Amino acid sequence: MEAVNLYASRLVTRRQSFTPGHRACSGCGEALAVKLVMKALGRDVIVVMATGCMEVISTQLPYTAWEVPWIHTLFENAATVATGIESARKALLRKGTHLSKAKIVAMGGDGATFDIGTGALSGAFERGHDFLYVCLDNEAYMNTGIQRSSATPFGASTTTQPAGKVSFGQSTWKKNMPAIAVAHDIPYVATACHSYPFDLMNKVKKAVAVEGPSYLHIFAVCPTGWRIPTDMTIKLGRLAVETGVFPLYEVDNGKYSLSYEPPELRPVMDYLKPQGRFRHLTPELVDKIQQRVSREYARLMGKCGK
Amino acid sequence: MERRVAFESSFAIAEAARMADIDVCAAYPITPQTHIVERIAQLVADGELDANYVPVESEHSAMSSCLGSSAAGARTFIATAGQGLELMHEAVYVASGMRLPIVMAVCNRALSVPLSIWGDHSDVMAVRDTGWIQIFVENAQQAFDLTLCAFHIAEDPGVLLPTMVHIDGFHLSHVIEPVLLPDQEEVNKFLPRYHHPFVLDPNNPVTMGDFATPALYTETKVGQDTALRNSLKVILRVFQKFGEEFGRDYSPVETYKTEGADILLLTMGSFSEVAMEAVDGLREAGEKVGLVRLRLWRPFPFEQFRQAVSRARLLIVLDRALSFGGPGPVCSEIQAALYHLKERPEVIGFIGGLGGRDISVNGFQDMIHQGIDKAEQGKFGEVEVFDVRE
């Protein structure tokens, strides 16, 4: 397996448009995901980014980690800024004053996507603009200091819904954002994780190839916020997939298909145990999470016709 | 050949946007801005305007969409009012900070609560510090003329700042007046296609909207402020060019019957024309009264303003917005502008015309007389709201 991986990495371009030297924490899964996304996209691309970790770590004046055109304006509006660029491009191409047909990709964290920017994202999907939206989901507001979002999983301790004597942390279940994207009837929706780089990059290529909006939901491990050692990022991404906590699938024109089917799901405890944010969980709560994960996984399998 | 048509002011603005050959208009419907954007949507639907109309899901997204469009190099237009301007507030700052020459028509409207769809300047004052150029218009012709000028000013390579054209909601936006429309060729000559020096282009990648630490934030913002202050020179040049090409002259501060006037009234926007009639009446009665109309609100035209008022004894200022717990926003600006002058008029401020409340010719004459009385009694610095029901 190791030998195969060593060979396979040579199939990927060494050219990076999201360049090293940025200020991400060590072991940052999100920065790794962005690197992979950009490798898959190439240079003919315009990137719109929401306020968040990736924006702050990559563009501190007077430096930039970006070798492609990149724009950040606010927190909640990356999808809308992208629609403005796309509309401008259409008009300028029609009028013959602009020739670039660059792909347009908007990126935001889970806070920008699940919470503050949902309306903007929904509007952009509904209007059918030709762009890819990438959600970089690390399951809380990590940039401001690990506050809960509606992407935070049940039972996780965050700074705004901490575990305590009478609290077990997050008391709600993670919002199903890919399903919300699918409900807009857009041509392509997929989930991915940096721990499966080829799957991730293939999905990026597929997503930008479709005409109209597409949504890629990337599970990004955050050692700082999840309280894990920084060398566990890849491992934990794999555990999320192997336990069924974060299944990899795509929805191509409404048709669900599983991208990776583990022979047998591992118990969620394997995934929860290494993480400080779940340290306080009782066996009863772990059991509750296991039941939920199994049920949701079975539902997804049903949608995939399994 | 110039054409003379009867146009609603909103249509005059839409017509200016059409003749400016805008590329993108993103908007969300809000009273009293709707007639502008409906007209633009219709022009696009009829093939009379080759632009993309983006019907967004909120005012925040309207401005956000314009940020993207302008950053991609498109000539971008937007219109809003009142609550809409408030909802997009943070994005309004971004447009100026990123030096995006977006032109926005604002149909000045009161702010909730109580809900009011009618005009005043509460929304204008709330965006005073956003770094946009702000131009006031008084009639449909000016709405057309100054929207064209706004594109020219905003896109000047020495300016590159977004510009608001302020028309009073309903009092002006919904009024039908005769408008002289120039030929398309004349407009093309006045306003050629523009090219922003830094756009989102993979062949020449730029990073826009970085994050700044305390080490660079101040310098960035000073650069922006300098650009806004320096835009005054370009504004004067564009007004002059417009006058030469179309025969209608505009100035940052305009005066009416101010020669030999001891007492001046200062207004902004559509009320100015009513105030002119009030001045006419008082002049006929032998009173030495004149009118100053502030056309440019930002950048504030200090020099032109001081010249216009320095010889008067009393300046009566009408604010169409409340600054709760403080003086009217225009009045406080004007007092600050005059403070260091050795010879300067005394200032009496009134607040009025809130939430669409009209001020008639008689009303303005009353206001002037009340102002004179107050000055004689030495009641300076008082904040008085005009025409309040007991």
- CATH number (domain holding residue A123): 3.40.50.970
Residue A13: band (very low, low, confident or very high) from pLDDT cuts 50, 70, 90: confident
pLDDT tens column, A115-135 = 999 999 999 999 999 999 999
Closest-CA residue to A74 (of A48, A95, A46): A48
Q: What is the DSSP string of B226-268?
A: HHHHHHHHHHHHHHHHHHHHHS----SEEEES-TT-SEEEEE-
- Give pLDDT tens digits for A237-257: 999 999 999 999 999 999 999
Which residue blocks in B88-202 are alpha helix, DSSP H? 89-97, 122-126, 140-155, 184-190
Contact at CB, A43 and B202, closer than 8 angstroms: yes
d(CA B72, CA A120): 19
Q: Output the furthest CA–CA distance in chain A (Å, rounded).
A: 65
> Per-residue pLDDT averaged across A141-157, rounded?
98
Instruction: Please give the CATH number for the structural domain made up of B253-385.
Output: 3.40.50.920
CB contact set of A103 (below 8 Å; sequence gap of 6+): A41, A44, A45, A46, A131, A132, A208
- Whether the pTM exceeds 0.90: the reply is yes
What is the token pair recorded at B280? 């006419």
Task: Assess whether pLDDT exceeds 50 at residue A167.
Answer: yes
DSSP-based helix, strand, coil % in chain A, nearest 5: 40, 15, 40
Is the bond preceding residue B113 a cis peptide, omega within 30 degrees? yes
Question: Is B203–A100 a contact, with Cβ atoms under 8 angstroms apart?
Answer: yes
A99 has a pLDDT exceeding 70 = no
Domain count, chain A: 1
Q: Do A59 and B56 touch (CB under 8 A)?
A: no
The residue of chain B nearest to residue A82, with distances taken between CA atoms, is B68
CA distance A75 to chain B (A): 10
Q: What is the pLDDT of residues A83-98, one digit of tens each?
A: 999 999 999 999 987 7
Count chain A–chain B contacts defined by CB atoms under 8 A.
167
Contact: A92, B91; criterion CB under 8 Å: no
Taking an 8 Å cut-off on Cβ atoms, the answer to whether B210 and A61 are in contact is yes
Q: What mean pLDDT value characterizes chain B?
A: 97
User: Which of B55, B73, B205 is nearest residue A88 as measured by Cβ atoms?
Assistant: B73
A107 touches chain B (CB under 8 A): no
Domain encompassing residue A103: 2-303
Instruction: Select from B23, B25, B87, B203 the residue whose CB has the most chain A CBs within 10 Å, as the one to mutate to test that interface.
Output: B23
Q: What is the pLDDT of residue A1?
A: 42
Q: Once rounded to an integer, what is the mean pLDDT over residues A138-155?
A: 98
- Count Cα neighbours of B383 within 13 Å in the Cβ-side half-sphere: 14
Q: Assess whether the previous peptide bond of A62 is cis (omega < 30° from 0).
A: yes
- A127 and B54: CB-CB below 8 Å? yes
How far apart, in whole angstroms, are the C-alpha atoms of residue B130 and residue B144?
A: 24
Cβ–Cβ gap A69/B55 under 8 Å = no
Q: In whole angstroms, how large is the CA radius of gyration of chain A?
A: 19
What's the rounded Cα separation, in Å, for the pair B182 and B138? 19
What's the CATH fold of domain B3-246? Rossmann fold (3.40.50)
Say if residues A177 and A95 touch (Cβ distance below 8 Å): no
| Pick from B67, B74, B201: CB nearest A91 | B74
Residue count (chain B) = 390
B45 vs B41: CA distance, rounded Å: 6
Domain boundaries defined on chain B = 3-246, 253-385
Measure the CA angle with vertex A151, ends A209 and A277; round to 5°. Answer: 125
Sheet strand arrangement including B163-168 = B52-55, B24-27, B76-80, B103-108, B163-168, B133-136, B296-298
**Successive 10-residue mean pLDDT values, chain B, 390 residues:** 94 98 98 98 98 98 98 97 98 98 98 97 98 98 98 97 98 97 97 91 95 96 98 98 98 97 97 98 98 98 96 97 96 96 96 97 98 96 92
Query: Which residues in B lie closer than 8 A to residue A120 (C-beta atoms)?
Result: 57-58, 60-61, 64
Check CB contact of B52 with chain A, cutoff 8 Å.
yes
Overall average pLDDT of the A211-221 stretch: 98
The set of residues, in sequence order, having a beta carbon less than 8 Å from that of B349 and lying 6+ positions away, is B316, B317, B319, B327, B328, B330, B331, B382, B383, B384
Percent of chain A surpassing pLDDT 90: 92
- The half-sphere exposure of B8 on its side-chain side, counting CA atoms within 13 A, is 17
